[in-house]
Structure 1
């Protein structure tokens, strides 16, 4: 990453090309900290954004996509301070699945601050879960 104060867009080649859809996967800026604002990552896998039919697999795949974006900024889950979760037809069972998967990737003494928003639908008809993040790392 360049050491300047201009935002840098990063769209990891392992993820689908977001350009035609009007957004970037992430934007990073340098200040006393490297700050990264990550767009919502779903459980879509590969160039064709194939979605698993079940919620738990989509959560796992979305977290893997988030990891790819973080790594593209030389960051890890430890640098994530804020997340927003969007869950289609949210219920306590889905919340339990989320909590189980979150504990597998956040191995720090804290989980990030978060907001959970129940929704009736996401961008694609079969999407069940989406997560965005703000990550910060000292320079």
Structure 2
């Protein structure tokens, strides 16, 4: 089980891992060993995800979500399968954890108070007086 938070955990049977050849560091070894990990997780058909989390996860996944609702993560940062597997699973957990957070409540519009409007206008007036005094001294002709 992959623990997401206190109330949510995903069974590892829902995740499919496939090992492919990676680009990047590894020298000649990169052409022989399949170290990159392609993680697949079916978001739409997952029995453990609640519907609101599923919807937010689909939105967060963006292009990584296929038309069939499968989330695909490719991990190839490291030179070993084990580290790439752990990296892909960590990224999946972090993505689901972010989707599990409820969105913040919408902002309520407020109007400025009369006192705050007066303070703003008074400060503008004071500033205008300061700036008016910065001109060239105007001598009487």
Q: Output the TM-score relative to the length of structure 1.
A: 0.29
**Between Structure 1 and Structure 2, whose CA radius of gyration is higher?**
2
Q: Output the TM-score relative to the length of structure 2.
A: 0.28
Q: Which has more strand, going by share of residues?
A: 1
Which one scores higher on RCO, CA 8 angstroms, separation ≥ 6?
1
